[in-house]
Amino acid sequence: MDKERTIPKNAAVPSEQAEPVSSGKVNPLHKRNDVSQTQPPASGRAPVDMSVVIGWILQGGVMLSSLVILIGIVLALFSAGPQHLFTFPHTLGEVWRGLLAFQPVSVIAVGLLLLLATPVIRVAASIIAFGLEHDRRYVVITSVVLVILVMSFLLGKGAG
Amino acid sequence: MHLTMLSLLLIFACALLAGLLGSLVGLGGGILIVPLLTLAFGLPIRYAIGVSIVAVIATSSGAAAAYVRDHMTNMRIGMFLEMGTTAGAITGAFLAGLLAPQILFIIFGFVLVVSVAPLIFKLGEELPADVHNDRWARDLRLASTYPDRRLGREVAYEVTHTPWGLVMMYVAGMISGLLGIGSGTFKVLAMDTVMRLPMKVSTTTSNFMIGVTAAASAGIYFSRGDIPPLVAAPVALGILGGALVGTRVLARMSNKFVRIIFIPIIAVVAIEMILRGFGINF
């Protein structure tokens, strides 16, 4: 492991925003890094301001889902008779059928699913953003996360 | 158990309070939902965990939106570590289905105690010095900068012990999936003390990751039928409302005052959860 090796030239200097190729002798270990740095330098951020898009997705998702949940609650309150707490749809098919039957619980379930989908959509959007940056490594990493998320829905069904 | 207007309203009010308190101490409030639903409303713990994980997604998504725009979040670090947290969350959600409810109560009590540690001890450093990128951090280009308002400049930072950070994130994800909490404390712990990120970056990046982590286990809880909509609805709306108010009030309340209220509450709740696990009820 080379994690302890110090690279004095490039050690956390606050002003290294643009990571200049430093003068004189180049540390051979660090050379490879300089090559990879031909892409956008401030790695946390993207040139296409994906943070704005992602912020919008998160906020929009939360707002939309709370609205749907609220509508569901209002419908539940006005529907006749006591409602069972623990009989509710929990597959996409059941939710859909319940929605067609105008069940308040299904409307709430749709709101909850929208809420659950918000982070998933955020991850999907990140794949596109990294793709636009031609950052293949992060496209792969983000795709792995997306596959895990989609798998979780399918796995839960198996557990019945 | 039937739904009455009153119980729905009560759950909403309590979730509002949880969201308010949670946002005031920076814990998100999700950690209070499971004790609330089990101890106060007598909901079976598997349903309480399912509802709580929904609340966690709601609060973290709302908060993350703001931090992302402020450029405090390191999205590369977040995305890389989410491979660990989501895999862990799935493990945790499955484990929760296998463990006896009593065991879940006991584990929850202990995790509750650990989660408030950052409110008592100061963990991590504001601006860690002498941190150098390890090979993973270089290859993955994890180092970055963030705007520090207090210092009034961009602060550059590097990242170390990346593989260990990923391993710890798997554990953090497992705790999140097992108990239906955001487990932000454990995520921050991994980024602060292991990878040695500046505090502001680790807290905002943790928040960014919590929603995705929670979504992984929420998928399992939903399709397993562990998220009763009529309970989840008032909880989600209440905690969102509470968090919204909390961020407004935050500036006007002293940190110390908030902690003095919060820490005893958590202590009592933790003891009650553990006692419940051993079959002692109040």
Model pLDDT for residues B41-96, shown as the tens digit of each residue: 999 999 999 999 999 999 888 777 777 777 888 989 999 999 999 999 999 999 99
For B156, the enclosing helix (H) or strand (E) is strand B153-157
**Residues within 8 A of B (CB atoms), A 96-135 only:** 105, 108-109, 111-113, 115-120, 122-123, 126
**Mean pLDDT for the stretch of residues B246-273:** 77
Distance CA(B235)–CA(B213), nearest Å, equals 19
pLDDT above 50 (res A28): no
Q: Which helix (H) or strand (E) holds B126?
A: none
Report which of B122, B110, B123 is spatially closest to residue B267, judged by C-alpha positions.
B110
Instruction: Report CB contact under 8 Å: A61, B54.
Output: no
Q: Work out the average pLDDT over B21-47.
A: 87
Q: Between chains, do A12 and B1 touch, taking CB under 8 Å as contact?
A: no
The pLDDT of residue A37 is above 50: no
Q: How far apart are CA A91 and CA B94, in angstroms?
A: 18
pLDDT the model gives residue B199: 86
B58 at A interface, C-beta within 8 A: yes
- Asked if the C-beta of B241 comes within 8 angstroms of chain A's C-beta atoms, the answer is no
- The model's confidence at residue A34, banded by pLDDT at 50, 70 and 90, is very low
3-state secondary structure B241-253: HHHHHHHHHHHHC
Tens-place pLDDT, residues B107-139: 999 999 888 777 777 666 778 888 899 999 999
**How far is residue B185 from each of residues B124, B169, B205, B251, measured CA to CA in Å?**
12, 11, 12, 22
Q: For residue range B181-214, list pLDDT tens digits in order.
A: 998 888 988 998 899 999 889 988 998 899 999 9
**Cβ separation A105–B225 shorter than 8 A:** no
Q: Which amino acid is at B62?
A: G
For residues B151 and A26, is the Cβ–Cβ distance under 8 A? no
Tell me the mean pLDDT in the region B18-28. 79
Contact at CB, B212 and A149, closer than 8 angstroms: yes
Provide the pLDDT for residue B68. Answer: 76
Higher pLDDT, B108 or A42: B108
Q: Which range is least confidently modeled, A19-23, A150-154, B94-98?
A: A19-23
- pLDDT tops 50 at residue A11: no
Strands B153-157 and B144-148: antiparallel
Task: Give B150's contacts (C-beta < 8 A, 6+ positions apart).
Answer: none
Question: Of the spans A60-74, B24-38, B242-256, which averages the highest pLDDT?
Answer: A60-74
Q: Cβ of B174 under 8 Å from any chain A Cβ? A: no
Phi, psi angle pair for B121, to nearest 5°: -100, 150
pLDDT bin (cut points 50, 70, 90) of residue A68 is very high
Q: Please count the other Cβ atoms lying within 10 Å of the Cβ belonging to residue A151.
A: 16
**pLDDT tens-place string over residues B136-154:** 999 999 999 998 878 888 9
Task: Give me the residues of A, 60-79, that contact B with CB < 8 A.
Answer: 61-62, 65-66, 69-70, 72-73, 76-77
pLDDT digits (tens, 9 = 90+) for A111-134: 999 999 999 999 999 999 899 989
Amino acid at residue number B50? G
**pTM (2 decimals)?**
0.84
**Residue B247 confidence (pLDDT):** 73
ipTM: 0.90
Query: Phi, psi (5° rounding) for residue A24?
Result: 65, -145
Give the C-alpha separation, B234 to B17, whole Å.
12
Pick from B58, B89, B145: CB nearest A62: B58
Share of chain A above pLDDT 90, in %: 34
Minimum CA–CA partner of B210 in chain A: A119
Q: What percent of chain B has pLDDT over 90?
A: 54
Is residue A86 predicted with pLDDT exceeding 60? yes
B87 CB burial (10 A radius; 0-12, 13-18, 19+): buried
Provide the pLDDT for residue B67. 75
pLDDT level of residue A33 (50, 70, 90 thresholds):
very low
Would you place residue B220 in the very low, low, confident or very high pLDDT band (cuts 50, 70, 90)?
A: very high
- Nearest CA to A88 out of B24, B146, B233 is that of B233
